[in-house]
Structure 1
Amino acid sequence: MQMSQEVFGQFRRKRLLIAITVAALVLILTLAFRFMEEKSRIEQQSHIFANNAIQRFDRLFSPLDVAANNTLGLVGLSCEQVRFPLIEKLASLQTVRTIVLVNNDTLYCSSLSGAGNLSFSHYYPELAVNNQRMMLSTDQQLLKGSPVLLFWTPQDTDNHSGILQVINIEMMSNYLLEPTLPWVERAIFNVGDKSLEYGNPMVEQALPSEDEVTWQESSLRYPFSITLFGPAPTRLALMTMPSQLPLALLLSLLMGYIVWLATASRMSLSWQISYGINAREFMVYCQPLINSRSGDCDGIELLLRWHTPRQGWIPPDVFIPLAERQDLIAPLTRFVLSEVARHLPLLPTCPTFHIAINVAASHFHQHQIIDDLRRLWWPENPVPQLIVELTERDALPEVDQRVVACLHTLGVKLAIDDFGTGHSSLSYLKTLSPDVLKIDKVFTAAIGTDAINATVTDMVISLAQRLNISLVAEGVETEEQATYLREKGVDVLQGYFYARPMPLGDFPDWLSSHKTLLFA
């Protein structure tokens, strides 16, 4: 039985909606990912610029630091003795304008102007009193008004003697702080609360404009920091989005097409099956198994029915094969086991009463069926005989045939369902040693009408009787078929002639009425 065109139409609309939704999400996520990636790259570039600038300044100050420490031995000597050595030292330090010796809080000797007598703590309290090692200032001797950096190296802890180097910081900052557009528009060298900006000869505090953001990195070796001003990374990243749109659009269309292919009607139905299991839309039905000789009900076969509020009743010949192909048949079988275990108190407590359940070949893999029986069936201490009906849509691998032997050891009987229509039926008789063969309803329907199929039915019956295997005939719908099968020695009959499939909870009432008819 095929699904109606309405159901297929619903699946196609769902597929289209899912494909469009996925394509839109992929487009949004791709652009968002590229946006975040570009934003992160811009921020990283700014930090790299600041770190590189700090490393360059550190490399600039390091030889000055070494030179100052090597010159500390001149402190205290007279200016006439040390001036020429200071000039020689100055010649080797290209970035230094002048070197000044400080002794007992007095600036007493300069490589530029010679001897002097100025108070160090008065002119440079940040260095002398606040114990700073660097200070931004303006030159008052050589190039008046130009920015300089005072680099202080004390001789002792009292901070009253040492070497003071005056560095041409404007030249260095113009060389080392050149901004890298577009992510760095302004670069500033900071010492304490004073700043020197690239391209600006004034020593003053630098502030960002309204649309600029700030990054700042500090040196770990010397008391200075680098501040960068530039456009917000968000704005720069957004400016790159038009160039990212073609690739994102192509990727979204590709993903939408893949989803459209993946959510074909069968895939859609498989999703419905998964949802139906969780929503308990499936129901367990049963069909009586009638003893052909006595007319008693010897057992039931468990059947699965599916009613969904979305599509109504969906026939088993649609969802069962699909569930097998989508590896969903095992969860359905577990659902049937749990339901029949729950209804055991309503069923006859007789060891000759049979409960048959269909199990796909895939459920035998890695002893899954045995594990499920141990978890769902045997804890209920069932009295009726369990029969596992092996469906033949797929071949049972040799490794899983050992599971059948384990089932026999545990007292579970094996039936081969739809015998003669499936895979390697004759080989199964040898390798699986089944207890029951079920004659497919196709052969039952051929009784009295189709000479070829009727002959096949007789051969199957004869083969089973020679091998001492019980027979169950499915699809018995007429008195003629029932009589024919009874005369041929078929043990159990099943079909609409006796009873239609019914909800498992209705079986006790049917069984009572059936016994009443037998004894009437």
Structure 2
Amino acid sequence: MQNAQRAIKHYRQKRILICLAVALLTLLTTLAVRFISQRSQNQHQLQIAAVHAVRIIDKVLLPLEKQRAELLQLVGKPCEAVNLILRKEVAALQTLRSIALVKSGTLYCSSVLGDRNVVIHSVVADLPSDSPQLLLFTDNTLIKGRPLLLQWYPAADDAGSGVLMSVNIDLLSSLMLEPQKPLINSISLTVKDRHLSDASSVMTTLPVPPSDQVFSLSSTRFPFTVNLISPGITELALRSLPSQLPLALILSLLLAGIAWLATASRMSFSWEINMGIASREFDVWCQPLLNTGDKTCTGVEILLRWDNPRLGPIPPDVFIPLAEEHHLIATLTRYVISETVRQIEVFPQDPHFHVGFNVAAGHFVDGVLLRDLNHYWFSAHPHQQLIVELTERDALHDVDYRLIRELHRKGIKLAIDDFGTGNSSFSWLEKLRPDVLKIDKSFTHAIGTDAVNSTVTDIIIALGQRLKIVLVAEGVETQEQAQYLELHGVHILQGYLYARPMPLSALPQWLADHHQTLPLRHEGQPSPLMPQH
């Protein structure tokens, strides 16, 4: 039974490990899904922020482009005549700080300062230019050191003439250069090789902390790029994981509980036994019993072996107690009887050759055993003698004496297996009126070594002889044990000294090797292989 308890413990541990694995997998999967989802969400939010910033700057610059043709018509006209018009344009556009007219490389009129006479190249080194230019520039005239965003449109007939518009960079910064922490630490605007970040001064290099990453998006309309400086979508997703831990733990516990309930039947030995029966994984074996006088085989005890494809070979002292504990022993016995009947031709076709089955006490209740024997055994009309062996480890309650009488009426012999090891041996003798007592192997092994058990063996033998009950000794392994038992009147022996358990299919060859395909005859009649009384 200790082996059975170890098997149960093994299954319980396996079940716990599976539930822990489910919980851990759920925890990791949930955190991984949340990490990937948060990372994707961060990526999406960065994309939205960059698109939004580019769109704002585009909206600022598009009206300037629309007014380009109208303003270029003013180039060359006297400043007194166009200054008011320039001021009205600045007021109308709102996003502009000033508009300046340039003629032949000289800035001669400004919406803010009026008449001017400044060489444009001395103020902005990149101008004049024969193509439109967007420039980041540091103001050295009105508010020194302030950044400016300049838009230059050249005149069609004179590359040195054109319109220079200064965008209100302070307004622009408040619209698109505000950071959105923790996702965005800072936003910068890049035009050519110059950068503007958070309305600071114009720089030739973009300052990026070593731990941050840059996400850039360029405008499709104008030559500028918006840069989002962020800790990184992966880093931000990792930072968010602790907040996802409670949800992940709840899901883990929930799925672990579901796994525990789901494996209640499948992760148990009862499921294994049922699966083994359904898949015919159990093999029916037998062990011969010999008469000590003429060494003839009087019959066999049917045994069961289980080579479990999932767990490997499982010994009977493990699965039999577990089958009894899970109320599957009757089901297992039906399997044994049906498999034995299916291979009945391996036994000698003689009424004195007996076939013994182990039957649990619970199988006697409500006549279930008799119904099963009628269905599986007697329906096949076997010639062999049937012996029902009842193990003493079961408690036999409220015996139906009518069932016992009916079993005897049908010619079935009753045997008490492992006699002497239980707590109710003598009460069984009264209740069952058995035909056979099988002396447990522990008493057989004690012969010549253990004075106490040897004495008990002698008492059992004397009891069986006094009650005229056939005695069978189990576990005979030495010649000394065999001689002692034979000397004391035990003439049916079973053990490794004569034969080890074997598959049913091997029995005919074993009988042939021992020159016994049929029972020996005496005076023309077959000799009884199990003594009669």
**TM-score normalized by the length of structure 2:** 0.53
Pair 1:137 & 2:137 matched? yes
Q: Note the C-alpha offset of 1:135.
A: 0.4
Give me the CA root mean square deviation: 5.6
Distance 2:405 2:105 in 1: 125
Distance 2:379 2:65 in 1: 98
Distance 2:387 2:216 in 1: 88
Distance 1:32 1:151 in 2: 48
Q: Which residue of 2 aligns with 1:255?
A: 255
Pair 1:20 & 2:36 matched? no
Letter in 1 for 2:111: S
Q: Which residue of 1 aligns with 2:98?
A: 98
Distance 2:504 2:107 in 1: 108
| Counterpart secondary structure, 2:206 | coil
Cα pair 2:110 2:116 within 8 Å, conserved: yes
Deviations 1:414-437 (A, max 9, x none): xxxx99769xxx9xxxxxxxxx97
Cα pair 1:121 1:129 within 8 Å, conserved: no
Pair 1:218 & 2:218 matched? yes
Cα pair 2:188 2:228 within 8 Å, conserved: yes
Which ranges in structure 1 are unaligned for 5 or more consecutive residues? 288-302, 323-353, 357-417, 427-435, 459-477, 479-499
Q: Which residue of 2 aligns with 1:54?
A: 54
Distance 1:505 1:75 in 2: 115
Cα pair 1:146 1:170 within 8 Å, conserved: no
Q: Note the C-alpha offset of 1:136.
A: 0.6
Cα pair 1:108 1:115 within 8 Å, conserved: yes
Q: Note the C-alpha offset of 1:190.
A: 1.8
CA gap of 1:507–1:310, structure 2 versus 1, over 3 A, is: closer
Equivalent runs, 1:182-221 vs 2, <5 Å: 182-203=182-203, 205-221=205-221
Cα pair 2:132 2:151 within 8 Å, conserved: no
CA gap of 1:9–1:57, structure 2 versus 1, over 3 A, is: same
**How many residues in Structure 1 have an aligned counterpart in Structure 2?**
372
Q: Note the C-alpha offset of 1:207.
A: 0.7
CA gap of 1:50–1:274, structure 2 versus 1, over 3 A, is: farther
Cα pair 1:135 1:150 within 8 Å, conserved: yes
Cα pair 1:53 1:226 within 8 Å, conserved: yes
Letter in 1 for 2:244: Q
Q: Note the C-alpha offset of 1:149.
A: 0.6
Q: Note the C-alpha offset of 1:212.
A: 3.2
Q: Which moved more, 1:261-270 or 1:4-13?
A: 261-270
CA gap of 1:225–1:439, structure 2 versus 1, over 3 A, is: farther
Distance 1:99 1:123 in 2: 15
Q: Note the C-alpha offset of 1:92.
A: 0.8
Pair 1:7 & 2:10 matched? no
Q: Note the C-alpha offset of 1:206.
A: 3.5
Pair 1:165 & 2:165 matched? yes
CA gap of 1:163–1:200, structure 2 versus 1, over 3 A, is: same
| Counterpart secondary structure, 1:220 | coil
Larger Cα-atom Rg: 2
| Counterpart secondary structure, 1:144 | coil
Letter in 1 for 2:212: E
Distance 2:343 2:98 in 1: 106
Cα pair 2:194 2:203 within 8 Å, conserved: yes
Cα pair 2:282 2:306 within 8 Å, conserved: yes
Q: Which residue of 1 aligns with 2:307?
A: 306
CA gap of 1:184–1:55, structure 2 versus 1, over 3 A, is: same
Distance 1:506 1:68 in 2: 107
| Counterpart secondary structure, 1:153 | strand
Distance 2:52 2:177 in 1: 10
Q: Which residue of 2 aligns with 1:152?
A: 152
Deviations 1:312-349 (A, max 9, x none): 45769989xx9xxxxxxxxxxxxxxxxxxxxxxxxxxx
Deviations 1:37-60 (A, max 9, x none): 444434443333222222222222
CA gap of 1:16–1:114, structure 2 versus 1, over 3 A, is: same
Q: Which moved more, 1:196-205 or 1:509-518?
A: 509-518
CA gap of 1:108–1:268, structure 2 versus 1, over 3 A, is: farther
| Counterpart secondary structure, 1:53 | helix
Letter in 1 for 2:222: Y
Q: Note the C-alpha offset of 1:160.
A: 4.5
Deviations 1:345-365 (A, max 9, x none): xxxxxxxxx999xxxxxxxxx
Letter in 1 for 2:174: N
| Counterpart secondary structure, 2:31 | helix
Cα pair 1:8 1:265 within 8 Å, conserved: no
Deviations 1:55-83 (A, max 9, x none): 22222222222122443333454545443
CA gap of 1:127–1:22, structure 2 versus 1, over 3 A, is: farther
Distance 1:230 1:85 in 2: 44
CA gap of 1:102–1:316, structure 2 versus 1, over 3 A, is: farther
CA gap of 1:312–1:82, structure 2 versus 1, over 3 A, is: farther
Distance 1:241 1:114 in 2: 60
| Counterpart secondary structure, 1:258 | helix
CA gap of 1:453–1:60, structure 2 versus 1, over 3 A, is: farther
Q: Note the C-alpha offset of 1:11.
A: 0.5
Q: Note the C-alpha offset of 1:243.
A: 3.6
Distance 1:132 1:273 in 2: 87
Q: Note the C-alpha offset of 1:148.
A: 1.0
Equivalent runs, 1:463-478 vs 2, <5 Å: none
Cα pair 1:54 1:219 within 8 Å, conserved: yes
Q: Which residue of 2 aligns with 1:30?
A: 30
Distance 2:253 2:129 in 1: 70
Distance 2:62 2:56 in 1: 10
CA gap of 1:268–1:183, structure 2 versus 1, over 3 A, is: same
CA gap of 1:511–1:190, structure 2 versus 1, over 3 A, is: farther
Deviations 1:209-244 (A, max 9, x none): 344333222222221122233445555445544443
| Counterpart secondary structure, 1:189 | strand
Cα pair 2:98 2:165 within 8 Å, conserved: yes
Q: Which moved more, 1:216-225 or 1:247-256?
A: 247-256
Cα pair 1:306 1:315 within 8 Å, conserved: no
Distance 1:152 1:271 in 2: 85
Q: Note the C-alpha offset of 1:286.
A: 8.9
| Counterpart secondary structure, 1:46 | helix
Distance 2:191 2:179 in 1: 19
CA gap of 1:510–1:517, structure 2 versus 1, over 3 A, is: same
